[in-house]
Amino acid sequence: MADVCLIFPPTVSSGFGRYYPASAVLAAWLAEHGVSASQVDLNTALALDLITPAFLAEAGAGGFFAEGPRIATTAMPAVAARLLAKNRARLFDSAGRHDFANPDGPGFLLHELAKPLNIDCAIDAIAARHGPVASQLAFYEAFYARVPAVEFADPEVVLFGLTIAMGPQLAPALALAGHLRRLRPDVRIVCGGPVLSLLAEQDLALLLESFPAVDAVVRFDGEDPLLALARQAQSGDWRPAEVPNASARGRDGAVVHAPLKAGPSLRQLPPAAYDPALLRDMQAPELGIVQSRGCYWGECTYCDFVELYGASHAFRARTADAVVDEIEQQKKATGADHFTLITEAIAPGFSLRFAKLLVERGLEVRWNSFAMVDHRFTPDHFDWMARSGCDHLVIGLETMTDRVLHLVRKAATQASNLAFLEGAAAAGIKLYVNLIPDLPSTTHAEAMAALDVLRGVQHCLANVTVFPFEATRSSEVGRDPGAFGLTLGGGAATTGQAEFTANHLGACDMAMTDTERRAAISAYRAFAAEVNAARAGEAVRRALPARTPERLFRVAEADIDIAVADEGVQLFNWRKHRGWSGPRGILALTTRLNGAAFDQRAFFDLAGGEEVGTALWQALVRMGVLEPAVAP
């Protein structure tokens, strides 16, 4: 039995299979103050729902929605559905525990599968339910109706708390609020999280007016406001508009935004309360440990994360000793040995002290963190971090253009970027790098010159993600676009990395034409695909020798999807994370070979001779269509 039910709504497709730590942090805070809380992960529940055989079969044929548009069978969501149908067992171990986040497995296809369910539009458009949004919301409502979450019916629950961390969760969370109101009209519904903290007050008012199922919204640090609202719900004395950091309808029906109050010192936070029942369903849970809130640099003009803490200090941190204490406690309590530090950027001084403590205590763990390029990271830092179990760092590198780095007030230069990448890689730390090819005022020539520099350090990169630039209303760029060479109006109709239309600023950057911007982003994405394929161990293999008559092969049917396109066929290999186009004869040939072992001579006979067959053989090996087979 619980007083509060904390729910993480869908959809964070990049987080399928991960335990979002906010619920565990809030549950521990409530428990510390005498309020019990249960936790429900509807994001993982959605992932499990999407990979039921029936849904995969329907989605593979292009039918995602009971009523609404069909998806092209050559589109990646349908391709992903067909490949997941063939490889579903790979997502689970013998005990039925999922491992969606394993980079060597097919779990990344879940991200592609879920794309048709992504709702990224303004609050009034969500309320209006026009066009595709109606079908998408109907999908979520049907999903909620079949979720076997007994917490929803727990008679002791007086408050549902919904954490909305990412833009694509907003619409599904509002649909969930309506479902919960119909199911439990007696229970208060409160929404919080980074998405709502970034909204302007007028947008929060619109949300509360348009979705009456939501009783209150919490902004910024959620611990104290959620506790106060839970106690009001317990006592029946519901006055949310009087709770600091809350927005709610007042007694006259008008929306009131309560004054802001600083959040708690991070030294007051108890260890996060990870739910054993949720952990049991995961093969290798990766637990988040709060290290800081805010950013020790806090100057990047395009960043929203420095806006998330309201009246609190711009940067608050726990000591290295406290973080290591919690890691040790969580390892003993849960058995987990993989941790993520929750921080905007790990500071050099903290990282060295933290790494040395892990080594001194003999804690054999793996850990990762966000970090920023800072010249104070030395080879000694990286060596200690690697020794302590640092698996990887996520770096917002963005660009290699000094002029642009200075304009957006990054701490780095091209030279410090290169030194950081080389130093971390030399220590054996994997680097997951984020790039923004079109930061404000970047010219096409600058973007391509920066890409050439990146190619020179490609060996240092384990993963690359490319984000087109998006001006957001809550960032410094959004508040003063002209200072960064942007003009209002004429901006992209869709959002970029933020996936949060309600916070999108329509702005235009004339430094590149639309054609130049598309070309630059395409070139960066091609570079990312090359890096990611190579570092995933799925680089294009060298073609097999032209003559291998004594070996037997087969079609790697579980690895590939071949769909008929407008011209020829479209092939995708999930192990290589790559797709190709080819003539329709490939489909006919692989269909005839599928399931049987064959030698090269038999292949040449089917292909129409050795000359044609040799070229086709090399192409199919390159695409991962053929693999060695064990002789019968």
In this predicted structure, the answer to whether residue 482 has a pLDDT above a threshold of 70 is yes
Same domain membership, residue 143 and residue 232: yes
* pLDDT digit string, tens, across residues 593-632: 877 899 888 899 988 888 888 888 888 888 889 888 864 4
Domain presence at residue 406: yes
Task: Decide the pairing of beta strands 4-8 and 159-163.
Answer: parallel
Please give the sequence-ordered ranges of beta strands (E in DSSP) within 23-126, or none if there are none: 37-41
* pLDDT digit string, tens, across residues 559-583: 999 999 888 999 999 998 889 998 8
Average pLDDT over residues 23-47: 97
* pLDDT band of 467, cuts 50, 70, 90: very high
Rounded Cα gap, residues 169 and 320, in angstroms? 33
Domain presence at residue 546: no
Q: Residues 6 or more apart from 290 whose CB is under 8 A from it? A: 21, 25, 266, 269, 272, 318, 323, 342
Q: Residue 222 is inside which H or E element, if any?
A: none
CB atoms within 10 A of CB 321: 11
Same domain membership, residue 296 and residue 243: no
CATH number, domain of 330, equals 3.80.30.20
* pLDDT band of 548, cuts 50, 70, 90: low
Same domain membership, residue 426 and residue 337: yes
Cβ atoms of 97 and 112 closer than 8 Å? no
Same domain membership, residue 24 and residue 168: yes
Same domain membership, residue 191 and residue 219: yes
Full domain range(s) for residue 620: 553-628
**What is the percent of the chain where pLDDT is above 90?**
76
Q: Which of 99-108, 354-363, 469-478, 578-587 has the highest mean pLDDT?
A: 354-363
pLDDT of residue 151: 73
Rounded Cα gap, residues 121 and 495, in angstroms? 9
Q: What is the end-to-end Cα distance of the chain in Å, rounded? A: 58
Domain C-terminal end among 485, 505, 535? 535
Nearest-10 Cα torsion for 504, 510, 511, 513: 100
* pLDDT band of 490, cuts 50, 70, 90: low
In this predicted structure, the answer to whether residue 542 has a pLDDT above a threshold of 50 is no
pTM above 0.95, yes or no: no
Same domain membership, residue 196 and residue 305: no
Rounded Cα gap, residues 214 and 248, in angstroms? 9
Domain presence at residue 391: yes
Domain C-terminal end among 221, 239, 257? 257
Question: DSSP label at 598?
Answer: B
- State the average pLDDT for the chain: 92
Domain presence at residue 545: no
Cβ atoms of 450 and 401 closer than 8 Å? yes
Same domain membership, residue 195 and residue 71: yes
Q: Residues 6 or more apart from 234 whose CB is under 8 A from it? A: 3, 35, 158
Domain presence at residue 275: no
What's the domain count of the chain?
A: 3
Domain presence at residue 262: no
pLDDT of residue 538: 44
Same domain membership, residue 530 and residue 416: yes
598: burial class by Cβ within 10 Å (0-12, 13-18, 19+)? middle
CA–CA–CA angle 446, 450, 455 (5° rounding): 150
* pLDDT digit string, tens, across residues 329-358: 999 999 999 999 999 999 999 999 999 999
In this predicted structure, the answer to whether residue 496 has a pLDDT above a threshold of 60 is no
Bond preceding residue 11 cis, omega within 30 of 0: yes
Residue that is written with structure tokens 């804690």 in the block: 363
* C-alpha distances out from residue 278 to 24, 43, 94, 244, 329, Å: 11, 12, 17, 32, 18
Same domain membership, residue 213 and residue 123: yes
554: burial class by Cβ within 10 Å (0-12, 13-18, 19+)? middle
Q: Which of 36-40, 297-301, 443-447, 471-475 has the lowest mean pLDDT?
A: 471-475
Strand-pair partners of 560: 573
Average pLDDT over residues 3-23: 95
SS3 content of the chain, % helix, strand, coil (to 5): 45, 15, 40
Residue type, 626: L
Same domain membership, residue 576 and residue 461: no
585-593 helix and 610-622 helix, angle to the nearest 10 degrees: 90
Same domain membership, residue 113 and residue 239: yes
pLDDT of residue 592: 86
Q: Which of 161-175, 226-240, 393-407, 549-563 has the lowest mean pLDDT?
A: 549-563
Domain presence at residue 350: yes
Cβ atoms of 405 and 413 closer than 8 Å? yes
Helices marked H in 100-222: 108-113, 123-128, 132-146, 170-183, 194-198, 201-210
In this predicted model, which residue has the larger pLDDT, 590 or 320? 320
3-state secondary structure of 137: helix
Domain presence at residue 265: no
Tokens in use for 39? 């936790």
Same domain membership, residue 569 and residue 526: no
Average pLDDT over residues 110-135: 93
Per-residue H/E/C for 187-221: CEEEEECHHHHHCCHHHHHHHHHHCCCCCEEECCC
**What is the percent of the chain where pLDDT is above 70?**
95
